[in-house]
Amino acid sequence: MSATTFRVVLHRDAVAEVRELPQGTRARVKQAIDALAADPRPAASAKLKGRPNAYRIRFGDYRLLYEVHATEVVVYVVAIAHRREVYRRLLRRKS
């Protein structure tokens, strides 16, 4: 049995958003992003309504939003921000 490894791609704005996170949250987010390659739907994730293949992972008041494209074997990290802003950013962005 072979395990499928997903390629993780960050939206260009998500790269900048990671840099803006508080130090402790930044480390946890980076670990979660690395872990998405092995398991794109971890137990800590939740499916988002209204957008196919979209998920989120919570980090206190911060959210990591991403889309899983199984046919392409890719995880697209769309946004990483405070919970009050992240869903608005998701609506504005195309992955």
Per-position pLDDT tens, the chain of length 95: 347 899 999 999 899 999 999 999 999 999 999 999 999 999 999 999 888 899 999 998 999 999 999 899 999 999 999 998 887 777 776 54
Q: What is the pLDDT of residue 2?
A: 43
Domain boundaries, the chain: 7-92
- Residue 52 pLDDT: 87
Q: What is the pLDDT of residue 5?
A: 92
Strands 45-47 and 54-59, by their bridges, are antiparallel
CATH topology of domain 7-92: YaeB-like fold (3.30.2310)
pTM for this prediction: 0.87
Task: Give residues with Cβ within 8 angstroms of 22, minimum separation 6.
Answer: none
